[in-house]
Amino acid sequence: MNISIVGTGYVGLVTGTTLAELGNTVFCVDIDENKVERMKQGIVPIYEPGLEEMFLRNIQAKRLFFTTDIKEALDQSDVIYLALPTPPGGDGSADLSFVLSVANQIGEMITSYKVIVNKSTVPVGTADKVRAVISSKTDIPFDVVSNPEFLREGFAVKDSMNPSRVVVGSSSEKAKEIMAKIYQPFTNTGVPIIFMDEKSSELTKYAANSFLAVKITFMNEIANYCEKVGADVDKVRLGMGSDDRIGHRFLFPGIGYGGSCFPKDVKALIKSGHDEDFTFKILEATEEVNKKQKVILVDEIEKYFGTLKGKKIAMWGLAFKANTDDIREASSLDNIEILLEKGAQIVAYDAIAEDNVKKIVGDKIAYAPDMYTALEGADCLLIATEWSEFKNPNFELMAEKLNNKVIFDGRNMFSMEQVEDTGFYYKSIGRKT
């Protein structure tokens, strides 16, 4: 099949590459000329394990193309995926201006039947809005389908090539058949394709992300309570997760959830609720708890030293989670802001996300070339991202470099046994200090 992907951000690029890998001819469209030019030269604009290889393979096989010319791409395509940003507007609701402006262009440009597939995370009712905009511009028949994306950053290639399910919201039989054909390589291997109406499909995406945000936040509260009563959250987590109605995944406590999805989607669902005179109490509480959780260790550091003024804090990890350079809504940024406000200095190390942080924080903090250099002359270590390289450090070397043997671990990187005989003061989340 010939497919256009409009928007080559995270979701668009991974989706486009995946669809090419499945044998389709894919035209990726973006307004950013520079980016398109670099992609044509084989440069992947994002950091994502495994993507470059698949990207280059499909360019070479002449299944993956890049253009700024939307008309040229649409003319050659049967199906048009929209993978456009839906950033939170001032009131928290998803801003649909990119999606609707491309819908407008599609309405003006199409000359034959097309299926328009919405991959962006959009509020319930967006498919209807896209349909209305396109039909105000053309009499050519078309269908609008909702097909949310469930991939995780850092595992995007793995997730998109091995999806847990494919959700398709469509009220048109013709469009359903086309979507079933596109995803046949997955359904042939047992991946379920779940058809539903557009609104249910749109809500599925928000419900899934919000549920996961609640799950993490619930666990963070359990962890905080563990500390009050002297229980160990690792044990509680294992005991709970063994019930397969609960499951082991997404039960890891830490310094809150971040990223470009959970915070934005929780906010947008709350706002959509308000628009219908409906209050998502559980989501409002989740937001509030998560906000505090992100900086929960700042209080602990302050308590430990009496004051943060003049203290030098080494920070390991800046990305919102491991295996990504993404720092959107990263807990590290909230910690940096408050620590600086309280008079501390920060030396951070994150080989992958450093450049992105520099763009925002600049030289308000210092950056170290490796994890041990960051510790030199620092009063304590704060771990903000769970990069694998931090998992089994040389504690003796750490003790030599740090002024004090003190670790505040926002990601529960070490087992209690690991730190037991090192002489370090070790404060993690939901476990004994």
- Tell the smallest beta-carbon distance from residue 257 to ligand UGA (Å): 3
Residue 251 or 407 having the CB closest to ligand UGA? 251
In 104-219, at which residue ranges do the beta strands (DSSP E only) sit? 114-118, 142-146, 166-169, 193-196
User: Of these, 183, 304, 320, 387, which contacts ligand UGA (CB under 6 A)?
Assistant: 320
Alpha carbons 234 and 251: distance in angstroms, whole number: 10
What whole-number distance in Å separates Cα of residue 19 and Cα of residue 309? 53
Type of residue found at 304: Y
Residues 191-210 that bind ligand UGA (CB under 6 A): 209
Of 261, 268, 380, 406, the residue at the interface with ligand UGA (CB under 6 A) is 261
Q: By CB under 6 A, is residue 252 in contact with ligand UGA? A: yes
Task: By CB under 6 A, name the one of 251, 339, 381, 429 that touches ligand UGA.
Answer: 251
Cβ proximity to ligand UGA: between 25 and 356 the closer is: 356
216 interacts with ligand UGA by CB under 6 A: yes
Site for ligand UGA in 147-176 (CB under 6 A): 149-153
Q: Which helix (H) or strand (E) holds 430?
A: none
**CA-CA-CA-CA dihedral for 47, 53, 54, 60, to nearest 10:** 120
Our finding on whether 258 is near ligand UGA (CB under 6 A) is yes
Neighbouring C-alpha atoms within 13 Å toward the C-beta of 82: 29
| Min CB(235)–ligand UGA separation in Å | 16
> Segment near ligand UGA (CB under 6 A), from 251-259, 268-276, 334-342, 413-421?
251-259
Structure tokens given for 302: 């302050």
Which residue is associated with the tokens 């609720």? Answer: 273
Choose the binding region for ligand UGA from 131-139, 256-264, 269-277, 340-348 (rule: CB under 6 A).
256-264
* Residue 327 touching ligand UGA (CB under 6 A): no
In the complex, minimum distance from the CB of residue 8 to ligand UGA, in angstroms, rounded to a whole number: 15
Query: In sequence order, what E strands does 109-209 have?
Result: 114-118, 142-146, 166-169, 193-196
- Provide, rounded to whole angstroms, the least separation between the CB of residue 328 and ligand UGA: 9
Binding mask 130-149 for ligand UGA (x = CB under 6 A): -------------------x
Instruction: By CB under 6 A, tell whether 123 contacts ligand UGA.
Output: no
Q: In 3D, which of 44, 62, 66 has the Cα closest to residue 53?
A: 44
Spatial contact of 367 and 347, defined as CB atoms under 8 Å apart: yes
**Listed residue (181, 178, 23, 49) closest to 114, CA to CA:** 178
Tokens standing for 188? 């042939």
C-alpha span between 217 and 302 (Å, rounded): 24
Please indicate whether residue 28 is annotated as part of the active site.
no
Specify the stretch interacting with ligand UGA by CB under 6 A; choose among 254-262, 362-370, 393-401, 418-426: 254-262
Which DSSP helix (H) or strand (E) runs through 419?
helix 416-420
Stretch binding ligand UGA (CB under 6 A), from 247-255, 278-286, 351-359, 416-424: 247-255
Q: Binding to ligand UGA (CB under 6 A): which residues in 46-85?
A: none
Distance CA 258, CA 122 (A): 19
User: Per CB under 6 A, which region of 25-33, 57-65, 183-191, 252-260 contacts ligand UGA?
Assistant: 252-260
259 binds ligand UGA (CB under 6 A): yes
Supply 341's token pair.
């406000």
Look at the block and give the residue holding tokens 């030199």. 376
DSSP annotation of 152:
P
Catalytic annotation, residues: 261
Residues that bind ligand UGA (CB under 6 A): 121, 149-153, 209, 212, 216, 250-252, 254, 257-259, 261-262, 320-321
